[in-house]
Structure 1
């Protein structure tokens, strides 16, 4: 019998693709995008949002600070749903299959407060978790060990009872260091295979 009592999903690049560079390549061209990403720490800016600072405030302040890319930076806020897409449909099916199987399913995500609310209004599956741990509300982001401790406390479960899927190696390593069972997500097929190997789903359920 599996020791896993709950499954914890990251969201970006596990349930929803998060590839801002691809969006900007399409909108402004690869050369302009490379120039902008070299001049502006856009991912650092996003970390501030994920820590709970104002979604629009942070991004628009960065646009004012770097006027040469102001219009492009504001897209990070104004067209955010286009950055956070498409949905990884098989991962959503796996999440729902686990829930149908009676397995508690939670989310642990680096996400801003307002940006998560926006996502949850547009992606219904984000409202289906048993519990959702959002960095913006917690004021701490992965891979800080404190965010994993907050999940353990919130669920009342030790790390060894949790199976966690995340696309970032640093986050996976941080969870493993606390004794969590982990899966470095690269494709939904690999995640499906892991869930089957753990006995949480059958091959048919994971299809």
Structure 2
């Protein structure tokens, strides 16, 4: 079946998302390693990505772990410093596809509150035909239901979709539903895949 829509993950595909790197600059690598070893901060973030209140979720975690409270609150108070920078070539690919008239969507684990912060900061996040945001959907990747919801809303089978994500578990879940997939390890590889699929020319995919 012909590919009819291209779907981008956002974190580490369009915007770098490296909380550990951020904390290394704030508290040093040794303290960051100790904090992440003690606390499942990515699990905390999953609560937000499922639709949990951004500030309350983080501040509740901070209140329960007073020895790390100040550091945990940075996840909320300085979130935009964690979610940066944009990945320029990926943004250009998104826009080149759109210019071709190809439907381009996002499928992202993102909270309601964090999405409200990110969309004014990164203009390209407002350029999708549709952004499937987990916080608004109440389900996260790699759960099968989120992919099913995308198919239902787009009224397309998996075989008509190609999806780029940096996490192999998310990729495998999409493949299980018949989606074409690309494990994103850098924008150059994603550009080549789009050329190989005939969705962009080499000139368009610069």
2:176 alignment counterpart: 177
2:192 alignment counterpart: 193
1:111 alignment counterpart: 110
Question: How far did residue 179 of structure 1 move?
Answer: 0.2
Report SS of the residue matched to 1:87.
coil
Question: How far did residue 117 of structure 1 move?
Answer: 1.1
2:150 alignment counterpart: 151
Q: Could you report, residue by residue, the CA deviation over 1:104-160 in whole angstroms, capped at 9, with x for unpaired residues?
A: 000000000010111001100000000010100110000000000000001010000
Q: Distance in 2 between matches of 1:180 and 1:147?
A: 13
Report SS of the residue matched to 1:12.
coil
Report SS of the residue matched to 1:140.
coil
| Equivalent residue runs for 1:1-207 within 5 Å | 3-207=2-206
| Alignment coverage as a number of residue pairs | 206
Q: Distance in 2 between matches of 1:72 and 1:170?
A: 29
Q: Could you report, residue by residue, the CA deviation over 1:64-88 in whole angstroms, capped at 9, with x for unpaired residues?
A: 0001010100000000001000100
Structure 2: give runs of 5+ residues left out of the alignment: none
Question: How far did residue 40 of structure 1 move?
Answer: 1.0
Q: Distance in 2 between matches of 1:191 and 1:3?
A: 18
Q: Could you report, residue by residue, the CA deviation over 1:172-193 in whole angstroms, capped at 9, with x for unpaired residues?
A: 0000000000000000000000
Structure 1: give runs of 5+ residues left out of the alignment: none
Q: Distance in 1 between matches of 2:36 and 2:21?
A: 12
Report SS of the residue matched to 1:64.
helix
Report SS of the residue matched to 1:17.
coil
Question: How far did residue 9 of structure 1 move?
Answer: 0.3
Q: Compute the RMSD of aligned alpha carbons.
A: 0.6
Deviating above 3 A after TM superposition, structure 1's stretches of 4 or more consecutive aligned residues are none
- TM-score of the pair, normalised by structure 2: 0.99
Q: Distance in 2 between matches of 1:59 and 1:162?
A: 35
Q: Could you report, residue by residue, the CA deviation over 1:22-74 in whole angstroms, capped at 9, with x for unpaired residues?
A: 00001100000001001111000000000001000000000000010101000
Q: Distance in 1 between matches of 2:30 and 2:111?
A: 29
